Amino acid sequence: MFRPARLDVTGIGNAIVDIIAQTDDAFLARHTIAKGGMTLIDAAAATHLYGAMGPGVETSGGSAANTIAGMAALGGKVAFIGKVQRDQLGEVFAHDLRALGVEYETPASHSESPTGRCLILVTPDAQRSMNTFLGAGQELRPQDVDPATVEAASITYLEGYLWDPPHAKDAFCKAMDIAHKAERLVAMSLSDAFCVERYREEFQHLVAGGIDILFANETEIMSLYQTTSFDAALQAVRGKCAIAALTRSEKGSVIVAGDEVHVIDAVKPRTLLDTTGAGDMFAAGFMYGLTHGRALAGSARIGALAASEVIAHLGPRPQSDMKALLQKSGL
Amino acid sequence: MFRPARLDVTGIGNAIVDIIAQTDDAFLARHTIAKGGMTLIDAAAATHLYGAMGPGVETSGGSAANTIAGMAALGGKVAFIGKVQRDQLGEVFAHDLRALGVEYETPASHSESPTGRCLILVTPDAQRSMNTFLGAGQELRPQDVDPATVEAASITYLEGYLWDPPHAKDAFCKAMDIAHKAERLVAMSLSDAFCVERYREEFQHLVAGGIDILFANETEIMSLYQTTSFDAALQAVRGKCAIAALTRSEKGSVIVAGDEVHVIDAVKPRTLLDTTGAGDMFAAGFMYGLTHGRALAGSARIGALAASEVIAHLGPRPQSDMKALLQKSGL
């Protein structure tokens, strides 16, 4: 499927550190937080919400960054492009990628904005509700996209969340152009149903006109095509891009590629604690599979395996030896 | 046992944020890290080790601070005294205490030192090896000990680690004096076998001359009295302080108080992942019990319960609803 490449995937996304606290539904209601979604908040709101929420655990996050970290943990060759500040959280973010062997060379910001953070509230049903202050992530610009890092990768992976900062969508489009000119594939995640609401038309154009591999969950793909039926959404996306990988939580995933449709079971987690990162890890496993000679169904099974690991603990990135887990699974 | 008090416990200790990574024994060997111990490192060594270690999870730590957080999670009324910097990790540390209802008013440092951090390496046997850069924690001074906060507490809890920074032992002694003048109890943790090695004679004097409740694990108490027999150490400590609470990992704990000796079983954890904080949580549960009308044995059982919760996940502080856990246990 792929001609030789130095990198399997280059990911571009908002550089975010997660601050995760367990809470209850009453807290979400009191603070009018949209359960299961990602809400953008400003610095003042972040300070206010942080003051109100319980003690946290900090871990590097960011949707595409999680996917890249997951791929590195599986043994993939990967790079990441995203913007942090020269502060302690920025150091943590950069360390956590480089420690996994991820190429991460985006210059840190020179502005006043601190590194972006996401206040994640996890309820007893393992659902996560995200409140993101983008901070220095706002400053990602096209010049941050190093052409060589994109050209070198079999797949360039972009998150839909890049539509939120003012110049990041230009970085997204620049990367897409470079990748296609180098005859590489472009993958995109729809990120979040609210994000799809904000940019539906642009996302529809993107999916129809340049994205080779689309990742979306059930809610996101139904929102994209404004339908309440998953099957209708599936029919709508079929043919618009070469591969659509649609995830449905415990109902597993459906991979659509032209006439091919694969229905793949979810892998039951050891325990279900925090669904943060489930979609990101599915994408990591799926792209690891594709770039390592697996067929569509096998790739989706690796995605399901990676997702099952991450939802068994707090935090959006693997805490287990993923290479060992993959080997043990026989996938 | 206690006359009325506004606070159950005031804790004093090094204010530390933990950076936790899973690793293997080979990594410890390569970096000559003393397994199971706490080693002090300087800023340069911290940067070097952080660069070498894997991706981390960040969480507030510090031995006495963990104990105070654990007591707050159980429903205790508590305060903490310890020094952070005005930086992102310092904000995290303060937030995580205040979010639990802990009184924490120690002025932040004005120096250049960043907030202290502990690089914790967890091996597959769940053992943790700690490498601490004290940072702003170094600057704790007697003037940081607010007399009213000490006088108001039934127990003032001090960590042996306070002997490491230059002026913190003076803060320790000031707090001990204030507590005793107010006819309150003073509790101390021996912290770490290497720490006992560094300050053995001073710790022996302290235990014999002012500490009412001593917390130590098997290795620490044997090191304090330079014996290779736990029973000999137990006999040595008996009578030196009113209560000695000696923990022995999966072998449970032994409480010695004059002629009373209680042998208490450990509580088997759901799973065993990371022993960081086990001793701190035992102390939290034990002091919660004592200050809430439980006898010695019952208090030790709460300690064992709290310890079993914390070793089942990464990180030194509770991630479960401890009040619910306590209620469910019938203790």
pLDDT digits (tens, 9 = 90+) for B106-156: 999 989 999 999 999 999 999 999 999 999 999 999 999 999 999 999 999
Is the distance from CB of A291 to CB of A154 less than 8 angstroms? yes
Cβ-defined contact of A56 to B314 (cutoff 8 Å):
no
Average pLDDT over residues A291-297: 97
DSSP secondary structure letter of residue B292: T
Instruction: Please determine, for residue A249, whether its predicted confidence score (pLDDT) is greater than 90.
Output: yes
Average pLDDT over residues A35-47: 96
Return the C-alpha torsion angle A72, A74, A75, A79, nearest 10. -20
Q: Is residue B89 within 8 angstroms of chain A, CB to CB?
A: yes
User: In this structure, is residue B277 part of a structural domain?
Assistant: yes
> Which residue does chain A place closest to B55, by CA atoms?
A96
Q: Above 90 in pLDDT, residue A1?
A: no
| First-to-final CA distance of chain A | 18
B96–A56 C-beta distance less than 8 A = yes
* β-strands A128-133, A7-12 pairing: unpaired
A35 touching B (Cβ < 8 Å): no
- CB-nearest partner of A89 from B53, B88, B95: B88
Among A47, A86, A319, the residue to mutate for chain B (most B Cβ within 10 A): A319
Given CB atoms, is B245 within the 8 Å cutoff of chain A?
no
* Nearest CA among B317, B330, B331, B329 for reference residue B73: B317
Q: Which residues, listed in sequence order, are joined to residue B243 by a DSSP beta bridge?
A: B213
Nearest Cα to Cα of residue B72 among B310, B281, B300: B281
A126 — contact with chain B (CB < 8 Å)? Answer: no
- Chain A interface includes B50 (CB < 8 A): yes
Measured between CA atoms, the residue of chain B closest to residue A50 is B95
Is residue B228's pLDDT more than 90? yes
Instruction: Search chain B and give the residue with CA nearest A57.
Output: B59
Task: Tell me which chain A residues have a C-beta less than 8 angstroms from the C-beta of B53.
Answer: 99
Cβ-nearest to B57 among A88, A100, A315: A315
pLDDT at residue B101 tops 90: yes
Q: Give the nearest chain A residue to B57 (CA atoms).
A: A59
Residue A159 lies inside a defined structural domain of this protein: yes
Radius of gyration in angstroms for the set of CA atoms belonging to chain B, rounded to a whole number: 18
Q: Is B33 exposed, middle or buried (0-12, 13-18, 19+ CB in 10 A)?
A: buried
For residue B115, give the chain A residue with the closest CA: A88
pLDDT above 90 for B213:
yes
Mean pLDDT of B31-59: 96
DSSP state of B296: H
Q: Which residues of B119-130 are buried (b: 16+ CB within 10 A; e: fewer)?
A: bbbbbeebbbbb
CATH code (residue A100): 3.40.1190.20
Chain A residues touching residue B54 (CB < 8 angstroms): 99-100
Q: In chain B, positions 67-86, which contact chain A (CB-CB < 8 Å)?
A: 69
**Residues A109-123: what's their mean pLDDT?**
96
Q: How confident is the model at residue A30 (pLDDT cuts 50, 70, 90)?
A: very high
Q: Average pLDDT, whole number, for chain A?
A: 96
Beta strand A16-22 pairing with B78-81: unpaired
> What is each CA distance from A231 to A221, A235, A239, A297, B288, in whole angstroms?
10, 6, 14, 19, 56
Pairing verdict, β B78-81 and B103-104 = parallel
Indicate whether this complex's ipTM tops 0.90: yes
Assigned domain for B242 exists: yes
User: Which residue, A175, A11, A160, A146, is CA-closest to A77?
Assistant: A11
In which band, very low, low, confident or very high, does the pLDDT at A239 lie, cut at 50, 70 and 90? confident
**pLDDT score recorded for residue A197:** 96
* pTM, to two decimals: 0.95
- Domain of residue B200 covers 7-14+63-111+135-329
Cβ neighbours of B87 in A, within 8 Å: 87-88
Residues of B in contact with A96 (CB under 8 A): 55-56
Query: Which residues from B are below 8 Å from A114, CB to CB?
Result: 88
- With a cut of 80, say whether residue B1 has pLDDT above it: no
Does residue B298 sit within a domain? yes
Residue B73 has pLDDT above 90, yes or no: yes
pLDDT band at A25; cut points 50, 70, 90: very high
Structure token digits, residue B218: 């098997």
A314–B contact, CB cutoff 8 A: yes
Substitution target in B20, B58, B74 with the highest count of A β-carbons within 10 Å is B58
Write down the residue that tokens 């550089």 correspond to.
Answer: A15
Give the tens place of pLDDT for each residue, B282-329: 999 999 999 999 999 999 999 999 999 999 999 999 999 999 999 999
Question: What is the number of CB-based contacts under 8 A between chain A and chain B?
Answer: 69
Q: How far apart are CA B10 and CA B76, in angstroms?
A: 11
| A30 is a domain residue | no
Would residue A42 count as lying in a domain?
A: no
CA A246/CA A233 separation, integer angstroms: 10
pLDDT category, B239, cuts 50, 70, 90? confident
Contact: A100, B55; criterion CB under 8 Å: yes
Given phi > 0 = left and psi -120 to 50 = alpha, else beta, which region is A249? left
Residue A312 forms contact with B (CB below 8 Å): no
Q: Do A314 and B313 touch (CB under 8 A)?
A: yes
A314 and B317 within 8 Å at the Cβ level: the answer is: no
> Cα B294–B299–B303 angle (5° rounding)?
150
Domain count, chain A: 1
Within B96-142, strands assigned E span: 103-104, 116-122, 128-133
| pLDDT number for residue A2 | 86
Residue B129 lies in a domain: no
> Any chain B CB within 8 A of the CB of A87?
yes
Asked, for residue B28, whether it belongs to a domain, the answer is: no
Distance from CA of A194 to the nearest CA of B (A): 28
